[in-house]
Amino acid sequence: MHWFCKPSPEHREFHLYLIEPTNPEWSARIAFRDYLRSHPETAQEYTELKTKLATQFKDDREAYTKGKTEFIKSIVSLAK
């Protein structure tokens, strides 16, 4: 897996993940995406969580990401 961000890791305006389709992370991310597409109420919950975390951790990207982890894991588990 490769990860790129611009303009820098400290100030991320854009980031891109490149994952081989044979990597288990690939299927997990696709399962998560597809679940949200087919469950709009869950997608709305995810939107609300991200909004809350973005406000709470506006200057702490790592805490923002960590705050989403359990939600994502639970959805991936449901989706698989």
- DSSP notation for 32-73: HHHHHHH-HHHHHHHHHHHHHHHHHTTT-HHHHHHHHHHHHH
In this prediction the pTM is 0.81
Whether pLDDT at 76 is above 90: yes
Q: How confident is the model at residue 14 (pLDDT cuts 50, 70, 90)?
A: confident
**Segments of the chain assigned E as strands:** 2-7, 12-18
Which tens digit of pLDDT belongs to each residue from 33-66? 999 999 999 999 999 999 999 999 998 988 999 9
User: To 10 degrees, the CA torsion angle through 62, 54, 57, 39?
Assistant: -60
Q: Kindly report the CA angle at 57 between 61 and 38, in degrees rounded to 5?
A: 75
